[in-house]
Structure 1
Amino acid sequence: MSNTIDAAYLTDLFHELVEVDSPVGFYTDIEPYMASKVAEWGYEMYWDRKHTGYVRVPGRDRSRCVCVGAHLDTIGLVVRGFNDDGTLRVRQVGGINYHSIEGSSCRIHCRDGRVVNGQVICNKHSVHVFEDCRQVPRDENNMSVSIVADVKNPADARALGVTEGALISIDPEYEAFDNGYIISRHIDDKACVAVLLDVLKWLKESGEVPACDTLFAFPIYEEIGHGGAYVPEEVSEYVALDITLIGPDYDADEHSVGIAASDHHGPYDWDLTNKLIAAAGEACDKDKWNVQVCFHFSTDAMAAYVLGSNIYAAAFGPACLNTHGRERCHVDALVETEKLCRAYIMGGAKEEA
C-alpha cells in the first residue's frame, strides 16, 4: 500500500488554492471550491455558523476525536472610505505589511457580488512627482487602493459597486521554480490547507484508517485571532497546521517543518507537543524538522486554548520566509509537514521509504 507523497501534485494543489480569493471573512469563493475538492474523494464538507469547514473521518477508536486544522483565510484589506480622487481608504485585516504590497494588484469584492480590479498605492506614489516619496511611512494614513478604471471621484467608485465594507484580496503573484522553491503570497496558510487535502486524498485512496476519529477543520478568521475559537465538544486535541518561521532564533530553512512549542501567548500542551516531536523524529527526514518558540505569532489551536476550550493544543507547519509578505518556501517543507500530519493521525507510525 503506497505511502509516498507526490510533491508535484502537492505543489499544484497549493497553486489552485492560492488563486481562490479568501481574505479574512470572505468565504464566498473558497467554500464551493473546498466542497467540490473533497467530494472528488467521496467526502462531504459541512460548515458551522462561523463558516469553519469540517470533514470527519472515522477512526479505529470511535470513542475519541482529534482535530487537525488549517485556516482558509488570508491577510487582506477592507474599504473604510474614499479619498476625493476616488481612491479607496482602507484598513488592514490580519496584519498586513504595507511595504510588501505597494504596487500589487488586488481585487475588491463588493457587497453586491461584483468584483473590481485595483492596485495598492502609496498616496505619494512616484519619485518623479513627490519629493518626499521615499520618506513617507507606508501605513494606513498614507496607503490607498486605486481602482483600475476611469474613476475620478467617490461617485465613480460607488457606481462600480464599491462601498464601505468591501473586502480586498491581494494578488498572490505565485511562482514555482524547477528546483522546488515556491514564492507566493498566502503560503500562510494555503500550503497547510493543501497538505490536509492531500492527507484526505491519501486516506481515501490507501484505505488507511486514522487512530481515532479525526476532524479536519478549515477556519476563515484565523488572521484576526479567533478562527479556531469554537471547537466541537467531542474534540479532545486540536493540532493547528500553520506556517513556522525562519530567522534569528529559528533553526529552520525553507525545506523544514517546525513544531511550535510556544508562541506569543505561551507554551502549547507539553505532552501533545512531545508526541509530535517523537513522531517527527520517526517520520520526517533528518535535519528537516525543528522545534520553535515563535514570537509575534499564534495559531487557531492556541486561540481555542486561551478562549476556554477543553482541549490539548499543539501546532506545526512548513517553515516560511518573509511571512505576511510575498512568502517563500520549498515543496520539501510541505512534504515534511504532510509526513508529520500522517504520522500524528495514524498514531505516530513511521513513514515507509
Structure 2
Amino acid sequence: TAKIINFIENYVSEWNVETKRNNKGALILTVKGKNDAQHRLLTAHVDTLGAMVKEIKPDGRLSLSMIGGFRWNSVEGEYCEIETSSGKTYTGTILMHQTSVHVYKDAGEAKRDEKNIEVRIDERVFSADEVRELGIEVGDFVSFDPRVQITESGYIKSRHLDDKVSVAILLKLIKRLQDENVTLPYTTHFLISNNEEIGYGGNSNIPEET
C-alpha cells in the first residue's frame, strides 16, 4: 500500500490540492471551497486482499494467513508473488496440498483452509532451509495475481478493483474540478485509505471541520 499511496501523491503533485498523510499512512487530498468553516469528506481505499507467510514447511512450501476477509477457494490455483523484507520478490502458485485426485481420493471434497492451502514457489527449493536462503521468511507479504484484462468492448476485468475503481473516480473528479476551474461550495477532503480491508476503515484523522 505504501507504493500506491506514493504513486497517487506523485500523480497529484502538480494539481492545486493540499496533500498530507495521517498517522496510519493514508493520504488526505484537500480542495479548498468557498466555505472553509464547514468541510465535506469523500473516501475510498487502495489496500486490497492478500496473505502473509505463516509457516515455511519442511518440503519448501509455504502456508499462509489471510490479510482481509475472503474464501480460500477463491484463490486456489492463482499465481502469486512473495515479497521479502529486503524487497526482492519471488513468484509462486497457490495450491491445495492434496493436488492430485489420483493420489488423494478426497482432493475434491477436502476443506479449503489454512491447513490445506499452500504456495509452491517457482524456485528449485525442497526444504525450509533452502527457502530461507532465498530470503523468504515468516511474515512476508503474498500478493495475488490481479489477472488484468481490458476487453475489446472496453470492459476492465481484474482482481482488486475493490476499491481502486472508486479511487480513480475521486481522482478524476478532482482533475475535472481543476480543468474546469470549478470552486466547490465547501472545502472538501478526499481520504485515500490504506487499511480498510483489515478493519481500520477511514475514520482515523478526519479533519475536525468535517
TM range (shorter): over 0.9
Whole-Å Cα distance in 2 between the matches of residues 43 and 159 of structure 1?
46
1:221 matched to 2:199? The reply is no
Checking the alignment, whether the CA contact within 8 Å between 1:38 and 1:44 is kept in structure 2 is no
Kindly provide the amino acid, as one letter, of the partner of residue 46 in structure 2.
Answer: L
Checking the alignment, whether the CA contact within 8 Å between 2:148 and 2:159 is kept in structure 1 is yes
Match for 2:21 among 18, 25, 47? 47
Kindly report which structure 2 residues correspond to 1:41-190, keeping only aligned pairs within 5 A, or say none. Answer: 41-190=15-164
Which position in structure 2 is the counterpart of 1:241?
Answer: none
Higher share in helix: 1
Which position in structure 1 is the counterpart of 2:11?
Answer: 37
Cα distance, 1:44 vs structure 2: 5.0
Q: Alpha carbons of 1:31 and 1:131: their partners in 2 closer, same or farther (altered >3 Å)? A: same
Whole-Å Cα distance in 1 between the matches of residues 149 and 209 of structure 2?
37
Q: Alpha carbons of 1:153 and 1:44: their partners in 2 closer, same or farther (altered >3 Å)? A: farther
| Count of matched residue positions in the alignment of Structure 1 and Structure 2 | 210
Q: Alpha carbons of 1:232 and 1:163: their partners in 2 closer, same or farther (altered >3 Å)? A: same
Cα deviations across residues 152-197 of structure 1 (Å, max 9, x unaligned)?
1111111111111111111110112233433211111111111111
Whole-Å Cα distance in 1 between the matches of residues 134 and 17 of structure 2?
39
Q: Alpha carbons of 1:127 and 1:215: their partners in 2 closer, same or farther (altered >3 Å)? A: same
Q: What 5-or-longer segments of structure 2 have no aligned partner? A: none
Q: Tell me how large the CA RMSD over aligned residues is.
A: 1.6
Q: What TM-score comes out, normalization by structure 1 length?
A: 0.57
Whole-Å Cα distance in 2 between the matches of residues 177 and 101 of structure 1?
22
Kindly report which structure 2 residues correspond to 1:188-203, keeping only aligned pairs within 5 A, or say none. Answer: 188-203=162-177
Cα distance, 1:215 vs structure 2: 0.7
Checking the alignment, whether the CA contact within 8 Å between 1:76 and 1:96 is kept in structure 2 is no
Cα distance, 1:74 vs structure 2: 0.2
Q: Percent identity?
A: 33
Checking the alignment, whether the CA contact within 8 Å between 1:107 and 1:169 is kept in structure 2 is yes
Q: What 5-or-longer segments of structure 1 have no aligned partner? A: 1-26, 237-353
Q: What TM-score comes out, normalization by structure 2 length?
A: 0.93
Whole-Å Cα distance in 2 between the matches of residues 196 and 47 of structure 1?
17
